Amino acid sequence: MDITVPDIGHFVDVPVIEVHVAAGDVVAAEDPLITLESDKATLDVPASAAGTVSEVAIRVGDRVSAGDLILRLDAAPAAGVSAAGVSAAAPVRERVTEDAAPAPVEPPGYGSPSGIYEVIEVTVPDIGHFVDVPVIEVQVAAGDVVASEDPLITLESDKATLDIPAPVAGTITTVRVAVGDHVSAGHVIADLRTGETVVPEPAAPEPAVPEPAALVQPRPTAPAAARQRSAPGDVAAEVLVLGAGPGGYTAAFRAADLGKKVVLVDRWPALGGVCLNVGCIPSKALLHAARVIAETKEMSEHGIVFGAPAIELGKLRAWKDGVVGRLTGGLAGLARQRKVTTIRGYGRFSSPHQLQVELADGGVTTVDFEQAIIAAGSEPLTLPFIPSSDPRVLDSTGALELGGVPERLLILGGGIIGLEMATVYHELGARVTIAELMDQLIPGADKDLISPLAKRVTRQYENIYLKTKVTNVEARPEGLVVSFDGPKAPATDTFDRMLVAVGRSPNGKAIGAENAGVTVNDRGYIPVDKQLRTSAAHIFAIGDIIGQPMLAHKAMHEGKVAAEVAAGKNSFFDARVIPSVAYTDPEVAWAGVTENEARAAGVTYGKGVFPWAASGRSLTLGRSEGLTKVLFDEVTGRAIGCGIVGPNAGDLIAEAALAIEMGADAADIGLTIHPHPTLSETVALAAEAFEGTITDLYLPRR
Ligand SMILES: Cc1cc2nc3c(=O)[nH]c(=O)nc-3n(C[C@H](O)[C@H](O)[C@H](O)COP(=O)(O)OP(=O)(O)OC[C@H]3O[C@@H](n4cnc5c(N)ncnc54)[C@H](O)[C@@H]3O)c2cc1C
């Protein structure tokens, strides 16, 4: 129920000087909710009923008049509420009020609004004395849109032919029977997703004339609706997965675990996609090597002096390739154990239910599928004025191959990939220059998080040019002659190699999506709803190909949701946060709302900050520049964002992600005992700094 300001006589526009409750508080009738102060009086506005506050609509400083909304109250009496209004057991400010169901889907026009989906099992109705009747026709497939009363299957007993119609309109998500099966009343025929409007596939014929009302009847004279099919393919899949990166293999394995017959298609020889083969894993192996070199240098200043490292590039490369091989080999084993059929080749959709694959070792094969999950990922972006075919011009894949260590390396792009590669090549001995178009490294991240990293790399690298455009690159025998346009950059400079790390573009336009009725936007992304359905209801898309942030853990999470929905489960992608990490030195990590975003969205937030200069653990690691900050919503008190910079920030951010997902407030985090001395303490200490209970720092009283 809504609690509004009652009749307060002739007072209007009275300032709120105190708000006594927060979302989640349990109040008794007559408990004070807010205090108003006019020039004549101070008024407490009490609760008109007992209940739990679900939302507070005003803040200190707001001005209110009679009738204005103060808060919303779940009026149901809370069990165990004491006379004082707060149950000893009732968790104050800990109740998660959001429903598990996610907010309505955007963008408008694709998929269906989420939250109204319901998957029902369609069963064989009462068919009189018939039992164990053979199915002689299955008239629908997964993804088909059916009207109420459309025939789904046909049974034939020795006495009659019976059509079993759909009880309601919707989309078939799974067909559970096949021709030749024997069924009786109650046998599950199909799963049907109801409550949505799906545009039928363009190739589908007009639906059959609806049958009369009776559930079971003699075979209709009009032929039942049948989906137009191309000639049968070479391989049949209940679920086809295109692309075996983290999104694709996760989806394939989950679908197989849920009983689906899965075919997984990828053009590369090893499963694992960009992440395992040319992304997350090889880069982290090389970053570990870089960290070891950096630590030996750092310890030299503290009494343990190492000589300059002798770097055997061949061995380092082999070790990195070995790590990749071990993981991709493991995936191949997992696919075999699950009986997932893998096909190596380049796939393009040729119709809504077929994929043509140009096999890697020659020839073409066609896969028929009931449902598909597109996980075809992304490619490095190239720029037209860059001579990409010159072997001295690298993308991230080329840089990870570790063909050699140039004397002077230009990195075009100061984002995560560019800076991780800068970390590696700097420690291996290259003189690194970074050119970044924006006014900050890792544009978009909060400046205070980037600043410790920027300070360190400014000391280490040859040049960092911000607000700088590379306007031309000329490949000459003596080197790559690069033209710059920026406040601190020279007009031209010559480099031995250059890494282009200006972003990645999705592969949506290269898979024949239009033949399957899947909409792809101008930039090559595939729009999806919160169940990862594309504009074709039986085809899902996940991972880099559906949009930012391009991160492996996002792709994996989406892969699970898509596979579960394809298997008839009512799953949604409704994560509150997707953490991001730059594995630079120091690492930078954040989850949830950044301060930049909070300010732009007008969110009233407070923050607790803990500088690592006061962390015992950080100092014992020889580092003091780190920082942990946690943002809290001033209205609900809950953690909404966290940013960490310092060694191992990428591991630490997981706690913040959990806290945000769980709706934790500062007391939840601060009162959780963290082991000492660890970097993890800094998360609790930042929460304590927000609460004002911290003793490890002296903060003047608020
Ligand atoms: C250098 C680098 C470092 C990175 N580090 C991290 C990191 O530390 N953490 C992190 O979370 N993310 C990282 N990423 C990003 C991460 O790799 C991607 O977000 C992730 O791989 C996306 O997964 P995906 O399943 O969407 O697609 P991808 O991994 O891109 O896989 C797509 C697969 O589809 C295949 N394919 C594409 N088109 C076709 C076709 N038509 N037919 C057949 N096969 C096709 C490709 O061969 C590929 O195997 C990094 C990326 C790079 C480049």
| Position with higher pLDDT, 546 vs 126 | 546
Which residues share a beta bridge with 18? Answer: 35
Please report the pLDDT score of residue 631 as a whole number: 98
Model confidence at 225: pLDDT above 80: no
| Position with higher pLDDT, 201 vs 176 | 176
Closest ligand 1 atom, CA of 249? 25
Task: Quote the CA–CA distance of 400 and 274 in Å, as a whole number.
Answer: 12
- pTM metric for this prediction: 0.72
| Position with higher pLDDT, 79 vs 149 | 149
| Position with higher pLDDT, 602 vs 186 | 602
Please report the pLDDT score of residue 96 as a whole number: 28
For ligand 1, the distance from its centroid to the CA atom of residue 283, given in whole angstroms, is 13
For ligand 1, the distance from its centroid to the CA atom of residue 547, given in whole angstroms, is 12
Which of 254, 280, 359, 382, when mutated, tests ligand 1's pocket best, judged by the most ligand atoms within 8 Å of its CB? Answer: 280
Please report the pLDDT score of residue 12 as a whole number: 81
For ligand 1, the distance from its centroid to the CA atom of residue 245, given in whole angstroms, is 5
Mean pLDDT check: name the lowest of 10-19, 402-411, 448-457: 10-19
Q: What is the CA radius of gyration of the chain?
A: 30
Please report the pLDDT score of residue 702 as a whole number: 63
Task: Quote the CA–CA distance of 162 and 153 in Å, as a whole number.
Answer: 8
Please report the pLDDT score of residue 117 as a whole number: 37
Task: Tell me the mean pLDDT in the region 676-689.
Answer: 98
Closest-CA residue, ligand 1 atom 30, reads 377
Size of the chain, expressed as the number of residues it contains: 702
Which of 242, 274, 526, when mutated, tests ligand 1's pocket best, judged by the most ligand atoms within 8 Å of its CB? Answer: 274
Q: Return the top range by mean pLDDT from 146-150, 227-231, 323-327.
A: 323-327
Per-residue DSSP letters for 505-538?
A: EE-GGGS-GGGGT----TTS-----TT-B-SSTT
Strand positions, DSSP E, 295-430 = 341-351, 354-359, 364-374, 378-380, 393-394, 408-412
Mean pLDDT check: name the lowest of 23-32, 238-247, 543-552, 561-570: 23-32
Please report the pLDDT score of residue 310 as a whole number: 97
Closest-CA residue, ligand 1 atom 17, reads 275
Closest-CA residue, ligand 1 atom 8, reads 280
Residue 559 near residue 251 (C-beta atoms within 8 A)? yes
Look at residue 474 and give its three-state secondary structure: strand
Domains contained in the chain, CATH given:
2-91 (2.40.50.100), 109-194 (2.40.50.100), 235-276+318-373+506-566 (3.50.50.60), 393-502 (3.50.50.60), 580-691 (3.30.390.30)
Cα angle value 551/554/560 (rounded, 5°): 140
- Pairing type for strands 32-37 and 42-46 reads antiparallel
Closest ligand 1 atom, CA of 246? 25
3-state helix, strand, coil in the chain (%, to 5): 25, 30, 50
Closest ligand 1 atom, CA of 544? 26
Model confidence at 665: pLDDT above 70: yes
pLDDT tens-place string over residues 185-207? 889 898 877 644 333 333 333 33
Closest ligand 1 atom, CA of 397? 1
Closest ligand 1 atom, CA of 357? 42
Tell me the pLDDT band of 76, cut-offs 50, 70 and 90: low
Closest-CA residue, ligand 1 atom 48, reads 273
Mean pLDDT check: name the lowest of 21-35, 261-275, 486-500, 654-668: 21-35
Closest-CA residue, ligand 1 atom 3, reads 279
Cα angle value 200/206/210 (rounded, 5°): 100
For ligand 1, the distance from its centroid to the CA atom of residue 507, given in whole angstroms, is 10
pLDDT tens-place string over residues 417-442? 999 999 999 999 999 999 999 999 99
55, 59, 65, 71 alpha-carbon torsion, rounded to 10°: 10
Task: Quote the CA–CA distance of 311 and 510 in Å, as a whole number.
Answer: 41
Task: Quote the CA–CA distance of 538 and 172 in Å, as a whole number.
Answer: 9
**How far, CA to CA in Å, does 37 sit from each of 16, 17, 58?**
7, 6, 15
Please report the pLDDT score of residue 118 as a whole number: 53
pLDDT tens-place string over residues 19-56? 889 888 888 887 888 888 776 666 778 888 888 889 99
H/E segment holding residue 498: strand 497-500
Closest ligand 1 atom, CA of 243? 34
Model confidence at 456: pLDDT above 50: yes
Closest-CA residue, ligand 1 atom 35, reads 243
Task: Quote the CA–CA distance of 331 and 566 in Å, as a whole number.
Answer: 22
pLDDT tens-place string over residues 330-387? 999 999 999 999 999 999 999 999 999 999 999 999 999 999 999 999 999 999 999 9
Closest-CA residue, ligand 1 atom 5, reads 280
Residue 105 near residue 531 (C-beta atoms within 8 A)? no
For ligand 1, the distance from its centroid to the CA atom of residue 595, given in whole angstroms, is 29
For ligand 1, the distance from its centroid to the CA atom of residue 436, given in whole angstroms, is 24
Task: Tell me the mean pLDDT in the region 67-75.
Answer: 88
For ligand 1, the distance from its centroid to the CA atom of residue 399, given in whole angstroms, is 16
Closest-CA residue, ligand 1 atom 2, reads 279
Supply 503's token pair: 């972003």
Please report the pLDDT score of residue 126 as a whole number: 75
For ligand 1, the distance from its centroid to the CA atom of residue 643, given in whole angstroms, is 25
- Biggest CA pair distance of the chain: 95
Closest-CA residue, ligand 1 atom 26, reads 543
Task: Quote the CA–CA distance of 555 and 572 in Å, as a whole number.
Answer: 14
Residue of 574, 630, 410, 610 whose CA lies nearest to 498: 410
For ligand 1, the distance from its centroid to the CA atom of residue 396, given in whole angstroms, is 12
Residue 89 near residue 60 (C-beta atoms within 8 A)? no
pLDDT tens-place string over residues 86-132? 232 222 222 222 333 333 333 322 122 322 335 678 888 878 778 88
**How far, CA to CA in Å, does 361 sit from each of 41, 244, 269, 272, 589?**
86, 18, 11, 20, 42
Question: Tokens 């690691």 correspond to what residue?
Answer: 621
Please report the pLDDT score of residue 110 as a whole number: 15
Tell me the pLDDT band of 7, cut-offs 50, 70 and 90: confident
Which of 249, 253, 265, 275, when mutated, tests ligand 1's pocket best, judged by the most ligand atoms within 8 Å of its CB? Answer: 275
Ligand 1 site residues (CB inside 6 A) read 242-248, 265-268, 273-275, 279-280, 283, 346-347, 375-378, 396, 417, 507, 511, 543-545, 550-553, 555, 583
231, 545, 502, 276 alpha-carbon torsion, rounded to 10°: -90
For ligand 1, the distance from its centroid to the CA atom of residue 343, given in whole angstroms, is 18
Task: Tell me the mean pLDDT in the region 179-187.
Answer: 89
Q: Which residues are catalytic, by number? A: 676
Which residues share a beta bridge with 505? Answer: 379
Task: Quote the CA–CA distance of 194 and 436 in Å, as a whole number.
Answer: 50
Closest-CA residue, ligand 1 atom 52, reads 279
Closest-CA residue, ligand 1 atom 19, reads 551
Tell me the pLDDT band of 78, cut-offs 50, 70 and 90: very low
Mean pLDDT check: name the lowest of 77-81, 462-466, 561-565: 77-81
Tell me the pLDDT band of 222, cut-offs 50, 70 and 90: very low
Closest ligand 1 atom, CA of 250? 25
Q: Return the top range by mean pLDDT from 14-28, 72-86, 675-689.
A: 675-689
Tell me the pLDDT band of 316, cut-offs 50, 70 and 90: very high
Closest ligand 1 atom, CA of 583? 8
| Position with higher pLDDT, 52 vs 314 | 314
For ligand 1, the distance from its centroid to the CA atom of residue 569, given in whole angstroms, is 26
Model confidence at 476: pLDDT above 80: yes
- Pairing type for strands 42-46 and 580-582 reads unpaired
Strand positions, DSSP E, 575-680 = 580-582, 588-592, 605-611, 627-633, 639-645
pLDDT tens-place string over residues 625-663? 999 999 999 999 999 999 999 999 999 999 999 999 999
